[in-house]
Amino acid sequence: MPYNLPATRLLMNRLRQVMAEEGETRSRLDKVVRLIASTMVADVCSIYLRLQGGALLLIATEGLKADAVAATRLSVNEGLVGLVARRAEPMAIQDAPRHPSFSYRPETGEDPFHAFLGVPILRGGRVIGVLTVQNRTERAYDDEEIDNLQTIAMVLAEIVDRIDPDALNNGGNEKRERNTASLTGRVFCEGLGYGRAVLHDPVVPAAKFFAADQVTESKRLSEGMEELKASIDRMMALDGAALGEDPRDVMETYRLLAHDPSWAEKLQEGVKSGLSAEASVDRARREHRARLQSARDPYLRERLHDLEDLDNRLLRILGGEEGKPQISEERSVLVARRLGPAELLEYSNTGLRAILMEEAAASSHAAIVARALGIPTLGGIAGLTTRIDQGDWVIVDAEDGTLHIRPDDSLYDAYKGRVSLRSERQAGYEALKDLPARTTDGTEVSLMLNAGLDLDMDMMKQAGADGVGLFRTEFQFLVSESLPKLNDQIDLYKRVLDKADGKPVIFRTVDLGGDKVLPALNLQREENPALGWRSIRFALDHKGLFRRQLRALVRAAGERPLTVMFPMVTVASEFEEARDLLLTEVEWSAKRTGRRPSRVEVGVMLETPALAYGLPELAGKAEFLSVGTNDLMQFFFAADRMTPHVSDRYDLVSPSALRFLKEVSDACKTHGIRMSACGEATGSTLSALCFVALGFTTLSMSAGSIGPVKQMIRSFDLQAFRPDFLAALDAPKQDFRNQVLALAADHGIELSDG
């Protein structure tokens, strides 16, 4: 029969007492199931622990045979308990034996029981166990009972996650020692780091699960939600003309989720059941994460991401200063499911040793900020936030893309050896920074810096860069909740030119859309955003925004030289339209201020194969061309470099890609277009060697890559190497990459990667 809220609150208080008791885990679990069975007026209460392989082990029961504890196991595809674990949602069944998924286990003695209610025990978005109650009579459990059993399961998660299945009597409140774990990810910023894990997502400690005063807690929750809604309303208070209709629709949907009365009502119900405001929000977050794990529909996943983001925002508001990750002076490694560039910049002065991110695609902008900060970073680590706990010691090997959680002494000793070797290499690169990147036969190569923030410019002198070959202007837009004003843009571009101190700077105009979605300017959802309304297409359709940026660039240059290039151009007409807008702003500025740049150079990024065959139309119009390897190779191979299943198909060091780049090089020479290359590939010493052999004498890369590439260039004779390289390209072997590596070794070329 249904039970009342005071009884539930009493149960919560008793559970809190049991959690605080000393003694064996087995005896504490026995008390827990007795308490739940008594409060729920149930004949049976059982707890199942999900083991590493997915099986579910009975670890405590009241009402079934005691001998079944630690003996009964169900596979994740077996029984009603397995069904609850697979679906990650509650199941209430009036007559369980008649259900097609029912699995009878004679050792449990469950013959007399009919009604069944099971709820998942969730932690960190994963199912770690199942809590069930059963009754002899056939009965229907109501929504209130289901809701309260979910609340109880949330509290139990903190106990269940500490249980060692091989030794249920592992004693007291001590958390079992977890084994060392190793995970792999994608290297976003190279380096090595060691420290304690600090979770970016708010953590609700067990001590704050319960409300001391329900009325006060309900008021705190209401005030927190009002503050949340007000903050989102402020985001909405933007220039409607600048946003456009579709982006405002997306933002409005997000706002409606925050104002949804059913969400508020569910959170308040949690408080009424005895939970704190934080714990009630955390319960909702766990449910959203669990649903997200199994959601396949892209639209549903997007909405669940929004809901989880709202949960996290509200938790930070409720926690105040305590809700923020505590970065201590001790070694800290930041761990996050997703991380935006603005959020990462908040940690820029905290002395982080490394950054770990679970979701790679949403973190690509944060990765570029991480490179500017020079912090070793791994992304795309499947299961990261479910495998790592607050305070765990971790080793981040962002050279080969490996994360070691809770490392043992042998791993730590190996890490120290790697750090020592890396320090020696860095000292060698430091000695080269003031020397030219010149081959032994006298060919000079300009090594430029890829940048996007003030922080990058601080690395320019330290790295020994010859200038900035790519300044990504969109990051000023991405790290702000509102569109940057004209004067803010002028100030940034002036600082960049000042820090360059006369060295060349190539500004790439805004490259927005695709995976680069502004907090303040969300684009409409597209089936294939990489091929959609983005970059120069987006800019030319938003001429007000685009001209404002061009005006800022012209004003910032003053009477200094100005070099601008346009991204993602596919046909010459797009370049011409953008170039005309720039030149119009130059004339407008000259009339208004009496000043104009001493020289204006306009170039284009080659990021689509289509433009490669349109170079004759750019002759005499584009002063230079820069090969953007990231997008160009992605489109060339029809392979997303961020998708692990196809990333091995994305290889610039292959005959087809290099032959294509040779055609581009030859065409640029024919039509008098100066050429360079930028992107991730140029930072690889092997790829850079191929570019130089194809005639590229300007390469732009991250600051950390300049030292190794310069060392490589200074180690070989280009005139001797080029004929052998072109001969190999004409007659490639099956494993072409190894063929080029062997050729480099024959010529004594110093490569730091392969």
Active site residues: 365, 678
Instruction: Decide: 517 and 479 in contact? Cβ < 8 Å.
Output: no
Dihedral pair phi/psi, residue 321, rounded to 5°: -65, -35
Instruction: Decide: 603 and 567 in contact? Cβ < 8 Å.
Output: no
- CA 271 to CA 260: how far, in whole Å? 18
Residue 730 has which token pair? 């004409």
Alpha-carbon radius of gyration of the chain: 30
Count Cα atoms within 13 angstroms, Cβ side, for 703.
25
Instruction: Decide: 161 and 47 in contact? Cβ < 8 Å.
Output: no
- CA 285 to CA 57: how far, in whole Å? 26
Instruction: Give which of 115, 107, 110, 19 is closest to 71, Cα–Cα.
Output: 107
Residue 546 has which token pair? 């685009």
- CA 679 to CA 651: how far, in whole Å? 13
Crossing angle for the helix pair 143-160 and 5-20, to the nearest 10 degrees: 10
Tally: H helices and E strands in the chain? 28, 22
Read off the amino acid at residue 244.
G
Strand pairing category for 332-336 and 192-199:
parallel
CB atoms within 10 A of CB 276: 22
DSSP state of 201: S
Dihedral pair phi/psi, residue 403, rounded to 5°: -115, 130
Instruction: Decide: 433 and 463 in contact? Cβ < 8 Å.
Output: yes
Strand pairing category for 126-135 and 393-397:
unpaired
- CA 692 to CA 722: how far, in whole Å? 9
- CA 141 to CA 391: how far, in whole Å? 40
Burial degree of 301 (CB within 10 A; 0-12, 13-18, 19+) = middle
Strand pairing category for 505-508 and 468-472:
parallel
- CA 115 to CA 98: how far, in whole Å? 11
- CA 687 to CA 736: how far, in whole Å? 13
Count Cα atoms within 13 angstroms, Cβ side, for 110.
26
